[in-house]
Amino acid sequence: MASVLDGMLRRKPIDQIDDEGAASGLTRTLGLWQLTAIGVGGIIGAGIFSLAGAVANEKAGPGVLISFLVAGIASAAAAFSYAEFAGLIPRAGSAYTYGYAVLGEFTGWAIGWDLLLEYTAIVAVVAIGISGYFNDLLGFLDVDLPLWMSGAPGTEPKGIADGSYKVNLFAALLCLLIAYVLNLGMKSAARFETALVYLKVGIVLLVIVVGVFKINTGHYSPFLPYGWSGAFTGAATVFFAVFGYDAMSTAAEESQEARKHMPKAILYSLAISMVLYVLACLVLTGMVDYQDIDTNAAFSSAFDSVGMDALGAVIAVGAILGVLTVLFTFMMGATRVWFSMSRDGLLPGWFAKTHQTRHVPTRITWILGAGSAVIAGFLPIAEAAELTNIGILLAFIVVCIAVIVLRYKRPDLPREFRTPGMPIVPLVGVGFSIWLITFLQWQTWARFGVWFLLGCVVYFAYSRRASVLNPGRRSLKD
């Protein structure tokens, strides 16, 4: 029993991490602004193009601005902790690696195992959301897809016979497309991501600059029609639109000057995204009365309502292309977590092999691409969404606790960035994450419990003995 507990608590030596990273097979090609673009790409997505309108209409009214600010403060508390670790441990794996190095192998395993499901499910959910925009756009062009490829089984709208839908083909193909792009190599993939991020930010700036002249200040009253409780409930909802830097931080081993660039990229991406979120919310709730906001296509319909139909169509197309960056960031995050776990021996080393010329974990990427495609193709968006959320919050809790522990256990370690307000700021991150967890439905907990129990079986049957930190480990064939 003691040996089992010792194994669960063994920690990855921080001093050895840089040496291992040098022989990882990954190449350092990402500069500061490419990393920042990946972070912005993961943060800004459905949050602006869909979620802001839904929260304003149903929960917060014009007070959706407060919802995003509260969520941003909560996310920033965790972002500071991620930034300190990113400068201290510039290694693939993000929260998995940080937890492994500070709190022990089982904690790291649990977070890594959970993030594999969370990130993959996020990719599927976003792909399903994009397919909805795509179907609407086809309808605008009077193009009808065959029913069998138009959606997941059981999602048929009224008037269509139940069972007519067989697969959400467009969503599944999107997942495979992103896997293909990631397999081109990080340098080429980052160019694709950066171009789409520029397009997306340009669309958001267009919305703000043009929309500000269409604001009717009377729409801001009442500012909190649902009270403060509505604004805080809205914060719990939009919180999941203000992270993404956590997935970006998994690319630490592909970053040039990672110790300096990763902390800056994390903070820059969150700051840029929050400014755009706040300004966009002001424009949206100023252009349209909160009760009249279209919850599915808020901004495009808002411009339609003021006689700017052409701009509304441009925004719809920009939303479809821009949200692709979320798929890229989170699929990349999932592949790098899996890669790191395999390299540490907690999953078979066969997965940690990188392509000889492209220097990316090709095997993992195609497997995750196929897995997310299956989820996106055959599950309704609500069921797919229930696979997300809890793992990210648990990762935030682990990272915030770990940064406190390491600061006091190893104050001598060189830190490019230091979390301010220690230990108050990380504890705020823990508190907010626990508070947000209380909003999750019991079905989410049930799915998490099943996945966690499966992970425990894998860990105790395989990972604990195969770990590179196990002194009695026998060499395993890749």
Q: What is the pLDDT of residues 247-267, one digit of tens each?
A: 888 888 888 888 889 899 999
At residue 213, does pLDDT exceed 80? Answer: yes
Q: 474 in a domain, yes or no?
A: no
* Number of domains into which the chain is organized: 1
Residue 17 is predicted with a pLDDT of 65
What is the token pair recorded at 197? 């991020």
Containing structural domain, residue 169: 2-466
pLDDT, tens digit, 9 for 90 and up, residues 55-86 = 898 889 999 999 999 888 888 988 999 999 98
Range 102-105 contact pairs with CB under 8 angstroms and sequence separation of 24 or more? 102/11, 102/402, 102/405, 102/406, 102/409, 103/11, 103/398, 103/401, 103/402, 103/405, 104/8, 104/9, 104/10, 104/11, 105/7, 105/8, 105/9, 105/10, 105/11, 105/12, 105/346, 105/464, 105/467, 105/469
At residue 403, does pLDDT exceed 80? Answer: yes
Q: 450 in a domain, yes or no?
A: yes
**Residue 314, Cβ neighbours under 10 Å: how many?**
16
Please state the rounded mean pLDDT for residues 256-280.
90
Please state the rounded mean pLDDT for residues 196-209.
89
pLDDT, tens digit, 9 for 90 and up, residues 325-352 = 889 889 999 999 999 999 999 999 898 8
Residue 422 is predicted with a pLDDT of 92
Q: How far apart are the first and last CA of the chain?
A: 30
When pLDDT is cut at 50, 70 and 90, the band that residue 18 belongs to is: low
Lowest-confidence segment of 20-34, 201-215, 261-275, 333-347 by average pLDDT: 20-34
Residue 270 is predicted with a pLDDT of 92
At residue 439, does pLDDT exceed 80? Answer: no
* Residues facing residue 30 across a β-bridge: 255
pLDDT, tens digit, 9 for 90 and up, residues 461-476 = 999 999 988 887 654 4
Percent of the chain with pLDDT over 90: 34
Please, which residues have CB within 8 angstroms of residue 347's CB and are 6 or more apart in sequence? Answer: 338, 341, 463
- Comparison of pLDDT for 304 and 388, the residue scoring more: 304
User: Rounded CA gap, 198 and 189, in Å?
Assistant: 14
Q: 264 in a domain, yes or no?
A: yes
Which among 275, 126, 276, 129 has a CA at the least distance from the CA of 200?
Answer: 276
At residue 382, does pLDDT exceed 70? Answer: no
The secondary structure of the chain, three-state, reads: CHHHHHHHHCCCCHHHHHHHHHCCCCCCCECHHHHHHHHHHHHCCHHHHHHHHHHHHHHHHHHHHHHHHHHHHHHHHHHHHHHHHHHHCCCCCCHHHHHHHHCCHHHHHHHHHHHHHHHHHHHHHHHHHHHHHHHHHHHHCCCCCCHHHECCCCCCCCCCCCCCCCCEHHHHHHHHHHHHHHCCCHHHHHHHHHHHHHHHHHHHHHHHHHHHHHCCHHHHCCCCCCHHHHHHHHHHHHHHHCCCHHHHHHHHHHECCHHHHHHHHHHHHHHHHHHHHHHHHHHHHHHCCHHHCCCCCHHHHHHHHCCCHHHHHHHHHHHHHHHHHHHHHHHHHHHHHHHHHHHCCCCCHHHHCCCCCCCCCHHHHHHHHHHHHHHHHHCCHHHHHCCCCHHHHHHHHHHHHHHHHHHHHCCCCCCCCCCCCCCHHHHHHHHHHHHHHCCCCHHHHHHHHHHHHHHHHHHHHHHHHHCCCCCCCCCCCC
Mean pLDDT value across the chain: 84
User: Rounded CA gap, 434 and 419, in Å?
Assistant: 20
What is the token pair recorded at 27? 């190449």
Q: Is the peptide bond before 90 cis (omega within 30 degrees of 0)?
A: no
Residue 46 is predicted with a pLDDT of 64
Residue 426's φ and ψ, nearest 5 degrees, are -60, -35
CA 48 to chain CA centroid, Å, is: 14
Q: 161 in a domain, yes or no?
A: yes
Q: 17 in a domain, yes or no?
A: yes
- Comparison of pLDDT for 355 and 451, the residue scoring more: 451
Q: 473 in a domain, yes or no?
A: no
CATH number for the domain spanning 204: value is 1.20.1740.10
- Comparison of pLDDT for 7 and 436, the residue scoring more: 436
Please state the rounded mean pLDDT for residues 236-244.
77
User: Rounded CA gap, 464 and 77, in Å?
Assistant: 33
What is the token pair recorded at 379? 């599950």
At residue 211, does pLDDT exceed 80? Answer: yes
Residue 470's φ and ψ, nearest 5 degrees, are -80, 115
When pLDDT is cut at 50, 70 and 90, the band that residue 478 belongs to is: very low
Q: 476 in a domain, yes or no?
A: no
At residue 7, does pLDDT exceed 80? Answer: no
Residue 477 is predicted with a pLDDT of 44
Residue 234 is predicted with a pLDDT of 84
Q: 477 in a domain, yes or no?
A: no
